């Protein structure tokens, strides 16, 4: 059985009786055991195998089943999963076993998914460029073990790229879904903030005060944009319909490079080729930043918002908050005007492909392109382009119109390509 099916393909095969949930789950555990990337750090084998057997029995009985019925998946080790430790990579939390599921986990289970284990995170989720912690160690990029998978959802992205799961769920404050998705060549969605409940997404212990949740969001990672849509629908509720159903009906803005954060040659070439292919397919392209949007100021303002997010957890408010909130409101209004005429905005997810472990060259620049969607609270998909040496194309959508971004990314895969398994037909070496 191929380990790289999409979650939708797996679910359809199980419903038709062509695939066995039990066999798929056993195969997944065998791959996890054999993997050398250290992406999956905890499993619940007996529970998952019995749930998979029951899923097969339900199909045999002709029961009504959910859209993810029998699909085995892992989830980021920052969400509470009943019966499994919630560690955040911190040794002091090693024995903190959750007694109930996070909201995301409960909704995935209600849709029929089988949570088989948890994926590795950076220590306390405190890094967007790598995944390493003193409890579970370092996660490697399946495409090149000398390279980082990104963070803090690096285990999630690596598990998908290595065929260790059918679907994943992560979190994104400063790119922790989108950067790993780009580095590992999978799809990742930062939804519009507030779309998906954060209940059960916290370190063990008493809940921290949540004075504000913006700009943090939780969202899915997958091997297709259609899987992202299904996972978001299951966990966040019905989505507002996409603006268009045909690629040629989309009008999008494009910025593929900027002097403030220039992209590497390989990323620039991959993204340029992708946009050229989209234009040939009929997508109407407008180049340039939106009016009244200064990308440098937007990145700086986002940095303040991240600081404000953490300050709010501690019950304090940094100086200048009111002025920064006015700046954010003005930028949000500018993007609203932009999306009155256009359906999306395309830009790099990050300026490079996956760097070497511990390579801090231009490290802070990794957030520049992420900030452009995060500060105004826009949904953003990181889609892989460039085949087996992937770059991340960030598809930014209008606020609360996540499915517009998802649909564009799904349709675009037909002309620019999508997920490619590691080592499939070309060199595994990323740009240096």
Active site residues: 76, 152, 176
Which segments within 134-250 are labelled E, that is strand? 168-172, 187-190, 217-222
Taking only Cα atoms into account, the Rg of the chain, rounded to an integer number of angstroms, comes to: 20
Strand order in 72-76's β-sheet? 40-43, 114-119, 72-76
Cβ neighbours of 69 (radius 10 Å): 22
CB 77 within 8 A of CB 83: no
DSSP-derived secondary structure for 315-369: T---TTHHHHHHHHHHHHHHHHHHHHH-SEEEEESSSSSPPBTT--TTGGGGGHH
Closest listed residue to residue 236, CA positions, set 183, 197, 291, 293:
197
Distance, in Å, from the CA atom of 411 to the CA atom of 198, rounded to the nearest integer, reads 30
Locate 385 and state its tokens.
Answer: 């382009």
Distance, in Å, from the CA atom of 413 to the CA atom of 393, rounded to the nearest integer, reads 11
* Residues 6 or more apart whose Cβ sits within 8 Å of residue 110: 66, 234
Distance, in Å, from the CA atom of 371 to the CA atom of 290, rounded to the nearest integer, reads 15
């Amino acid at each position: 059985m191929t380990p790289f099916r999409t979650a939708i393909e797996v679910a359809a095969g199980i419903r038709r009786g062509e695939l066995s949930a039990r066999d798929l789950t056993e195969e997944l555990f065998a791959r996890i055991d054999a993997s050398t990337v250290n992406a999956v750090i905890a499993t619940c084998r007996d529970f998952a195998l019995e749930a998979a057997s029951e899923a097969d029995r339900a199909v045999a009985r002709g029961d009504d089943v959910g859209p993810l019925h029998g699909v085995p998946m892992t989830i980021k080790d920052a969400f509470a999963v009943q019966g499994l430790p919630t560690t955040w990579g911190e040794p002091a939390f090693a024995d903190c076993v959750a007694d109930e599921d996070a909201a995301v986990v409960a909704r995935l289970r209600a849709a029929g998914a089988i949570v088989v284990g948890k994926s590795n995170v950076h220590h306390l989720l405190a890094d967007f460029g790598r995944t390493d912690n003193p409890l579970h160690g370092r996660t490697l990029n399946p495409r090149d073990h000398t390279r980082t998978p990104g963070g803090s959802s690096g285990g999630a992205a690596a598990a998908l790229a290595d065929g260790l799961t059918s679907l994943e769920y992560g979190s994104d404050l400063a790119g922790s879904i989108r950067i790993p998705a780009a580095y590992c060549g999978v799809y990742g969605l930062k939804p519009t903030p507030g779309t998906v409940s954060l209940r059960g997404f916290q370190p063990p212990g008493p809940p921290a005060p949540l004075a504000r949740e913006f700009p943090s969001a939780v969202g899915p990672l997958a091997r297709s944009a259609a899987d992202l849509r299904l996972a978001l629908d299951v966990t966040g509720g019905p989505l507002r319909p996409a603006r268009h159903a045909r690629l040629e009906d989309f009008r999008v803005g494009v910025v593929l490079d900027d002097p403030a954060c220039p992209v590497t040659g390989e990323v620039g070439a991959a993204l340029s080729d992708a946009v050229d292919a989209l234009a040939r397919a009929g997508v109407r392209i407008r180049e340039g930043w939106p009016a009244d949007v200064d990308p440098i100021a937007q990145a700086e303002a986002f940095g303040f918002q991240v600081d404000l997010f953490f300050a709010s957890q501690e019950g304090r408010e940094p100086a200048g908050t009111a002025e920064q909130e006015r700046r954010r409101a003005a930028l949000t209004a500018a993007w609203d005007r932009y999306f009155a005429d256009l359906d999306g905005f395309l830009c790099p997810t990050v300026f490079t492909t996956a760097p070497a472990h511990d390579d801090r060259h231009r490290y802070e620049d990794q957030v520049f392109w992420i900030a452009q969607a995060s500060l105004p609270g826009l949904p953003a998909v990181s889609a892989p382009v460039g085949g087996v040496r992937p770059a991340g194309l960030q598809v930014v959508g209008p606020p609360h119109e996540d499915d517009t971004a998802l649909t564009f990314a799904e349709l675009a895969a037909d002309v620019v390509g999508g997920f490619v398994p590691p080592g499939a037909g070309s060199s595994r070496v990323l740009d240096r």
